[in-house]
Amino acid sequence: SQKIEQNSEALNIQEGKTATLTCNYTNYSPAYLQWYRQDPGRGPVFLLLIRENEKEKRKERLKVTFDTTLKQSLFHITASQPADSATYLCAPLYSSASKIIFGSGTRLSIRP
Amino acid sequence: ETGVTQSPTHLIKTRGQQVTLRCSSQSGHNTVSWYQQALGQGPQFIFQYYREEENGRGNFPPRFSGLQFPNYSSELNVNALELDDSALYLCASSLAWGRANTGELFFGEGSRLTVL
């Protein structure tokens, strides 16, 4: 069965640096990949979607890449701020009919 | 436009009891998905409802059941509660996927269930 792997260790980054989070998947490539942010005790919030035929997608300080050869998506936050501290979840979708299945998430902490 | 609301926000039950969690979807959304999130884990897909019919189910036993109503609100019912059912239960609404949208899920704040 398909597995989704995100950095299990928390990521601690100095404010102003670029944070890079990884989402790896096994077997066949998803047609789409979503990224969400989740704050403690709250529901996830959608950030970005990248399609299989897109190498890169940007939104303000966020950048997502999708490498079907490496079976990996990278999520970058440039000029990181303490307010970016949260857990980030990736969710590959294998078709538009897919149900959204999440990875375990990576906890990001930005220190001032 | 109101967002997704869930009730109750917190509840405590004992083993063997039954619980019903409720969710009002975002205005205009016809699809509701339910997730279970244990501490430190990602949300686990329970099931999805589309126009009052179950439209996919994750790896959860039959004692997890649901309903969707004509106004697209939804309920999650769990029978014969077990200690491991303690978790945050998240409801998410969405539009049926179309070419122009991203399939994004709009989550409520969740119902925190503790089973003693």
HSE-CB of A79 using CA atoms within 13 angstroms: 3
Provide block-wise average pLDDT over 10 residues at a time, chain A (112 residues).
Answer: 80 96 87 93 94 92 93 95 97 79 94 94
B90: nearest Cα among A84, A41, A96: A41
State the pLDDT confidence band at B104, using cuts at 50, 70 and 90: confident
φ/ψ of residue A84, rounded to 5? -80, -5
B3 touches chain A (CB under 8 A): no
Question: B48: which chain A residues are within 8 Å (Cβ-Cβ)?
Answer: 99
The 3-state DSSP class for residue B84 equals helix
Q: What percent of chain B has pLDDT over 90?
A: 78
* Burial class of residue A90 (count of CB atoms within 10 Å of its CB; 0-12, 13-18, 19+): buried
Q: What is the pLDDT of residue A3?
A: 79
In the β-sheet with A4-6, what is the strand arrangement from edge to edge? A4-6, A19-25, A72-77, A62-67, A56-59
Q: Which two tokens stand for residue B5?
A: 């609301």
Of A49, A99, A104, the CB nearest to B42: A104
Average pLDDT score over chain B = 92
Would the CB atoms of B45 and A100 count as touching at under 8 Å?
yes
B66-88 pLDDT, tens digit each: 999 999 999 999 999 999 999 99
CB B55 within 8 A of CB B49: yes
A94 touches chain B (CB under 8 A): no
B47-67 pLDDT, tens digit each: 999 889 998 999 999 999 999
Say how far apart CA B3 and CA B6 lie, in whole Å: 10
Measured in angstroms, the CA of B16 and the nearest CA of chain A are apart by 26
How many other CB atoms are there within 10 angstroms of residue B67's CB atom?
A: 15
CB B111 within 8 A of CB B21: yes
Average pLDDT of span B83-101: 85
Average pLDDT of span B35-40: 94
Q: What is the pLDDT of residue B101?
A: 66
